[in-house]
Structure 1
Amino acid sequence: MHRATAFRQDDPQALHRLIREAPLATLVSHGDAGLQATHMPLLLAPDEGPHGTLYGHFARANPHWRTLADGAALLAIFQGPHAYVSPAWYPSKAEHGKAVPTWDYLAVHARGEAELFDDAERLRTLLGALSATHEQGRPKPWSMEEAPRDYLDTQLRAIVGLRLPIRQLDGAWKLSQNRSEADVAGVVAGLRAEDDPVARQLAERVAAPRI
């Protein structure tokens, strides 16, 4: 990940927070079959290892996992809110015209070596943790106990678990930190006026860029 000095994010708590906020990762690896990519929701165990550990599962029908012998290098990419930034939002543009479009975003890259597993009870525990995480706060949260045991057993045979201890964790918060206060205020106002709810969400991050 290219990280200009102004946009580096090295706070582990902030990086972990984005992983939790945007858990659908893009998993990328390279092997004999070339580049492979899979989109997968990942669960973070923050205290497992120096940078935390990620857990998820492949569909057994997905050929990606078959290219991953234990120890294969994996890159997990997490994308936070992002949006186009118009130079028309900069007050400085009216003064000297020296402005071009850009894109503001938040992103985390987690690198590690893959560990695969297909033990049924371990997979059951993983699925329980994943579903509990995303069901919490719902009026009637679903739990695995609601599904027939034989049905779940069939589903478990159709997946392969992934454990990814994080060896390296990098973040980039590109939130107009290289602009003047007036230009940043213009970006915040411009994003808040957009129809896209993600752009409006990004506006609050630009207003407090180190969070």
Structure 2
Amino acid sequence: MTASLTRRTRWALGSAVALAALFAGAATVASARGDGAASAPLTPAADSADAGFARDMAVHHQQAVEMSFVVRDVTDDEDVRRLAYDIAQTQANQRGMLLGWLDLWELPKTAPDGQGPMSWMPDAHSGHDMQDMKGMDHDGALMPGMATRAELARLRSARGEQAEILFLQLMTDHHEGGVAMARGCAERCAVPVEKRLAQGMVEAQRSELGLMADMLAERGAAPRP
């Protein structure tokens, strides 16, 4: 299989997962409103894993969307631009669902007093679940894998292949952190459709991690250690 076919296969897989997640989200909204539901919906507490994941992953996704738009404007490489577009579209849609669920549950989009990011996953800070904590709580990076303010500034100022490599490295870190967070929700969250969305994120982002490793290798680079 050629590299081009491999990329198209991975992009198709990611798009299919994202589409399935969108339909699942629509079904959840209908159920939570009581449309055809046989029983009352589960409404999580503000300090639950369900609410915490929805809040934190919405912020996490927003940075991925931001980085994708940045690299789109500083490179002409069609493969990188296509990947950036897919990431931006998928994660913007998922972010909308996560925030929509918080609205539906009538829960705040910020953590309760005394709780910070990732408080729903306390062992994240101990390293039990998070194998890669690059950027955690440093220079504006509030969650696993998030780029720092300095790294975002470097991405904005880079051009061409330099920008492509930096984007792929930063997004690799971002996906690794996102996968760990999504796995945490798949294990801890109580709302079934949110658990399914989290598992879908794990599968889609793992696929994109493989794609990005290939794209970095084509440019004589590798994910950051």
For the aligned pair, the TM-score class normalised by the smaller chain equals under 0.3
Which is higher, the Rg of structure 1 or of structure 2?
A: 1
TM-score by length of structure 1 reads 0.24
